[in-house]
């Protein structure tokens, strides 16, 4: 089980869908989040992509020297860059970061945005291009370790004697991740990628996806790892967590929600359609599965659900997904700096022991906590590190008032 956090290059706030409580996401702030994630022991950070975001490659490169072990999950965009250029960028970044690069293949789901990037392809054609793009990218990187060149003549893309002189540190190439819910996306994943990502759907739907991917990958003689992208709202009690969910939506109005849902409906992303269907644009039925809250998807594209509850409850829900075969968990919370600390402090001690052993442990010579009365060290708290059990009482159903 590997735990990742998120760099909010498209903005951050205490409240969704409003400028109230918003903060400037400049380089200093992004570096604060990255350093916090690095020090707290997160495996890495996802950096989003799209025209609403700062460029992920430049952001990630700017954070290499600020961190020591943190990995960066950065987007590959077929059509936005050529596969040969992407291979060179991959090799360079992996070498400069000492092998801390992961790649996230993003085909895009908003045709209007894609046209702005010069991509005039329908859904099916984008996946054909992505398959050829990934083949070229992977072969250039793989052959770079032996100095070979690569020639490819596909229906969409061609290269002749493509060669990379500076291979990546990771062999044969940094792991390639990808998420998509359509039939074409699953076929691409089974053939091309190393780890398949899903957004935070209810466990039964995630189980179905994983079973489908396992079957498709096995038919190709391949096995994949699996990951999930979720937000998290964790507090010391369930009641406090539900109150925090209320507060997160407390300043968004119905017109903003309607506008967001209308935009999402125009997209050809099957994953986005599945996210929108979880709540139907309504505020009154947002707990779509025990402790899985869909309120974020009312105004945010992409991942729109959050695990919600006290630490024991959230840890139990994480374990529920892990039991389905999920290895990689990418979390986020609003605001991202404070919530990175809160999640690590409250939930990390409840994760399985083998996961805890991979997390960075504090190396302090002095006592933990603030000295009491300038003289006494605060007593150490004993924490239950056993794998949590599923709570016997469900969190209350909760409706957000207009």
Predicted pLDDT at 384: 52
- Please check whether residue 81 lies inside any domain of the structure: yes
- Please check whether residue 134 lies inside any domain of the structure: yes
- Please check whether residue 302 lies inside any domain of the structure: no
Query: Which whole number is the average pLDDT over 288-295?
Result: 93
Reported confidence tier of residue 57, pLDDT bands at 50, 70, 90: very high
Say how far residue 8 (Cα) sits from the centre of its chain.
11
For the four alpha carbons of 142, 148, 149 and 152, in that order, the dihedral sign comes to: negative
Comparison of pLDDT for 237 and 364, the residue scoring more: 237
Reported confidence tier of residue 260, pLDDT bands at 50, 70, 90: confident
Predicted pLDDT at 107: 84
Please state, as a whole number, how many other Cβ atoms lie within 10 Å of the Cβ of residue 244.
18
**Residue 24 structure tokens:** 């400037």
pLDDT digit string, tens, across residues 122-161 = 878 888 999 999 999 999 999 999 999 999 999 999 999 9
Q: What is the largest CA-CA distance in the chain?
A: 74
Say how far residue 5 (Cα) sits from the centre of its chain.
7
Phi-psi region of 325 (alpha: psi -120 to 50; beta: other; left: phi over 0): left
Reported confidence tier of residue 271, pLDDT bands at 50, 70, 90: confident
The DSSP code for 360 is P
Q: Residue 264: is its pLDDT beyond 90?
A: no
- The pTM (predicted TM-score) of the whole model is 0.88
Q: Are strands 150-153 and 2-6 parallel, antiparallel or unpaired?
A: unpaired
Q: Residue 324: is its pLDDT beyond 70?
A: yes
What CA–CA distance (Å, rounded) separates 332 from 5? 6
Predicted pLDDT at 3: 97
Angle formed at CA 132 by CA 126 and CA 136, multiple of 5 degrees: 140
Residues comprising the chain, all counted: 402
Range of 131's domain? 76-183
Query: Which whole number is the average pLDDT over 247-262?
Result: 89
- Please check whether residue 111 lies inside any domain of the structure: yes
When computed from its CA atoms, the radius of gyration of the chain, rounded to whole angstroms, is: 22
Is the distance from CB of 291 to CB of 313 less than 8 angstroms?
Answer: yes
Predicted pLDDT at 398: 44
- Please check whether residue 124 lies inside any domain of the structure: yes
Query: Which whole number is the average pLDDT over 358-365?
Result: 56
Query: Which whole number is the average pLDDT over 103-129?
Result: 82
Q: Residue 270: is its pLDDT beyond 90?
A: no
- Please check whether residue 44 lies inside any domain of the structure: no
The DSSP code for 97 is T
**Residue 105 structure tokens:** 């293949």
Predicted pLDDT at 400: 34
The DSSP code for 386 is S
Predicted pLDDT at 385: 46
pLDDT digit string, tens, across residues 183-214 = 888 999 999 999 999 989 999 999 999 999 99
What CA–CA distance (Å, rounded) separates 343 from 269? 30
Predicted pLDDT at 395: 43
End-to-end CA distance of the chain: 38
Predicted pLDDT at 361: 56
**Residue 123 structure tokens:** 């859904």
Reported confidence tier of residue 352, pLDDT bands at 50, 70, 90: confident
Q: How many folded domains does the chain comprise?
A: 1
- Please check whether residue 349 lies inside any domain of the structure: no
Reported confidence tier of residue 30, pLDDT bands at 50, 70, 90: very high
- Please check whether residue 23 lies inside any domain of the structure: no
**Residue 128 structure tokens:** 């054909």
Q: Residue 117: is its pLDDT beyond 50?
A: yes
Q: Residue 109: is its pLDDT beyond 80?
A: no
What CA–CA distance (Å, rounded) separates 331 from 46? 9
Helix (H) or strand (E) holding 59: helix 56-62
Q: Residue 166: is its pLDDT beyond 70?
A: yes
DSSP string, 295-340: GGGGT-SS---EEEESHHHHHHHHHHHHHTT--EEEEE-SSHHHHH
C-alpha dihedral, 79 to 228 to 185 to 195, nearest 10°: 80
**Residue 326 structure tokens:** 């999920």
């Amino acid at each position: 089980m590997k735990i990742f956090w998120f760099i909010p290059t498209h903005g951050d706030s205490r409240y969704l869908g409003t400028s109230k409580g918003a903060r400037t996401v400049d380089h200093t702030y992004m570096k604060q989040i990255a350093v916090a994630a690095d020090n707290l022991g997160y495996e890495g950070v996802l950096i989003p992509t799209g025209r609403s975001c700062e460029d992920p490659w430049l952001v990630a490169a700017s954070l290499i020297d600020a961190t020591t072990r943190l990995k960066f999950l950065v987007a590959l965009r077929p059509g936005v860059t050529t596969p040969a250029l992407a291979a060179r960028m991959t090799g360079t970044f992996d070498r400069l970061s000492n092998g801390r690069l992961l790649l996230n293949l993003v085909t895009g789901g908003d045709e209007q945005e894609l046209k702005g990037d010069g991509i005039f392809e329908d859904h099916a054609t984008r996946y054909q291009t992505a398959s050829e793009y990934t083949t070229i990218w992977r072969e250039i990187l793989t052959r770079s370790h032996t100095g070979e060149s690569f020639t490819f003549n596909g229906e969409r893309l061609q290269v002749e004697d493509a060669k990379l002189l500076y291979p990546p540190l990771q062999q044969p190439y940094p792991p390639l991740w990808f998420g998509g819910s359509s039939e074409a996306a699953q076929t691409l994943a089974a053939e091309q990628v190393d780890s398949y990502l899903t957004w935070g759907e209810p466990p039964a739907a995630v189980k179905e996806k994983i079973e489908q991917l396992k079957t498709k990958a096995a038919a190709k003689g391949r096995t994949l790892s699996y990951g999930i992208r979720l937000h998290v709202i964790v507090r010391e009690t369930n009641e406090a967590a539900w109150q925090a969910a209320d507060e997160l939506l407390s300043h968004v109005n119905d017109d903003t929600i309607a506008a967001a849902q209308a935009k999402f409906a125009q997209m050809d992303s099957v994953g986005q359609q599945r996210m929108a269907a979880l709540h139907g644009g309504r505020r009154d039925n947002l707990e779509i599965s025990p402790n899985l809250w869909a309120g974020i998807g009312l105004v945010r594209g992409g991942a729109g659900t959050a695990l919600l509850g006290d630490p024991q409850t959230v840890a139990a829900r994480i374990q529920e997904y892990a039991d389905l075969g999920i290895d990689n968990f990418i979390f986020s919370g609003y605001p991202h700096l404070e919530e990175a600390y809160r999640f690590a402090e409250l939930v990390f001690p409840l994760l399985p022991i083998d996961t805890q052993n991979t997390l960075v442990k504090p190396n302090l010579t002095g006592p933990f906590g603030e000295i009491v009365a300038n003289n006494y060290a605060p007593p150490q708290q004993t924490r239950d590190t056993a794998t949590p059990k599923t709570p016997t009482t469900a969190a209350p159903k909760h409706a957000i008032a207009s």
